[in-house]
Amino acid sequence: MTVVNIGQRIDGQYGELSPQEQRAADFILDHLSDLAVYNASELARLSGVSKATVSRLFRRLGFQDSAEVREHARALRSYGSPVGGPGASAGTPSRLAAHVEAEQENLRRMLVGVEDGRLDEASRLIASARHVLVIGMRNSYPLALHLREQLMQSRDRVTLGPVPGQSIGEDLAELGPRDAVVLFGFRRRAAGFAQLAQAIQRRGVPLVLIADSSARRHSDKATHWLECPIDSVSAFDSYAAAMSLVNLLATGAMGAHVRESRTRIAAITSAYEDLDELEVPW
């Protein structure tokens, strides 16, 4: 069974629609991807017809009422691929597609939560801090590790904690207001996380906290709070969006850094060289 979406329905009977109905239909077609955002009254107002006409149009298109259209529009909204009906979901391919769709949604959400300048501020902080300490435990550790490596491309004095056999306290003891800590705090945080965040705050060290929504309660201890979803259709959380955020942060820090450092050229060049570097012959 193929789902016939509203755009197709309009195309199918555009000719039989009355002039005013066509006007409304035009507007709908022009805002298909946004449709869920408008209600029927607005549709009427924005397309310059009466509410009555919109109401009639929906009927004509085979919908029971405007609520049905709304519902339909929301189903459309999660587009990304005009994936087949839900029936096919049993098999492998759509399981993978669902996975990818979830990732894309995570990316979108990550972006929205970060694009209002937070990312830039955090980048600047990291770029200009005297010393940067990156902390991540358990599932957050690979992210911390990766961020540290990337930051090292454009600045020095970036350390990773905790180093085995040394407490974080020791790392922290050397930091002050002119330094910065990047703390990853994704779900399944180790015990002591709150104390750690608090200790950082008390020492007056600017803190960039990167975590999923479960860490909101700690966000007040951070000077910069970057929320990143890790939702997944599988039993494991997915850190793809987080990985993407790490890239953004490292990139941003490099960009911000170069403005105020004489190492600018060297930094950029070396990073780009890395990119283009030919494989070493073995």
Partner DNA sequence: AGGCTGCTGAAACAGTTGTTTCATCTAGCT
Partner DNA sequence: AGCTAGATGAAACAACTGTTTCAGCAGCCT
Q: Which two tokens stand for residue 227?
A: 């929320």
Helices and strands in the chain: count of H runs, count of E runs: 12, 5
Select the binding partner of residue 18 from DNA, a copy of itself, none (C-beta < 5 to 8 A, by kind).
Answer: DNA
Distance of closest approach, residue 68 Cβ to DNA, in angstroms: 8
Any contact of residue 166 with a copy of itself (CB under 8 A)?
Answer: no
Distance of closest approach, residue 243 Cβ to a copy of itself, in angstroms: 4
Residues numbered 227 to 266 that lie near a copy of itself (CB under 8 A) are 227, 229, 232, 234-244, 247-248, 250-251, 254
Place of tokens 């957050």: 140
Check the CA dihedral 153-158-162-163 and report its sign: positive
| Whole-angstrom distance, CA of residue 214 vs CA of residue 137 | 16
Nearer of residues 54 and 241 to a copy of itself, judged by Cβ: 241
Distance of closest approach, residue 28 Cβ to DNA, in angstroms: 13
Distance of closest approach, residue 65 Cβ to DNA, in angstroms: 3
Which span sits near a copy of itself by CB under 8 A: 25-33, 44-52, 57-65, 176-184? Answer: 25-33
Select the binding partner of residue 272 from a copy of itself, DNA, none (C-beta < 5 to 8 A, by kind).
Answer: a copy of itself
Interaction mask 191-230, a copy of itself, x per CB under 8 A = xxxxx-----------------xx-xx-xx----x-x-x-
Any contact of residue 159 with a copy of itself (CB under 8 A)?
Answer: no
Select the binding partner of residue 42 from DNA, a copy of itself, none (C-beta < 5 to 8 A, by kind).
Answer: DNA
CB 72 within 8 A of CB 65: no
Check the CA dihedral 248-251-253-256 and report its sign: negative
Please name which of 58, 55, 52 lies closest in space to residue 9, comparing C-alpha atoms.
Answer: 58
| Whole-angstrom distance, CA of residue 155 vs CA of residue 134 | 13
Binding site for DNA (CB under 7 A): 18-21, 39-42, 49-56, 58-59, 65-67, 70
| Whole-angstrom distance, CA of residue 170 vs CA of residue 162 | 9
CB-based contacts of 29, cutoff 8 Å, min separation 6: 7, 10
Select the binding partner of residue 88 from a copy of itself, DNA, none (C-beta < 5 to 8 A, by kind).
Answer: none
| Whole-angstrom distance, CA of residue 137 vs CA of residue 149 | 16
| Whole-angstrom distance, CA of residue 98 vs CA of residue 233 | 7
Select the binding partner of residue 214 from a copy of itself, DNA, none (C-beta < 5 to 8 A, by kind).
Answer: a copy of itself
Distance of closest approach, residue 186 Cβ to a copy of itself, in angstroms: 11
Select the binding partner of residue 194 from a copy of itself, DNA, none (C-beta < 5 to 8 A, by kind).
Answer: a copy of itself
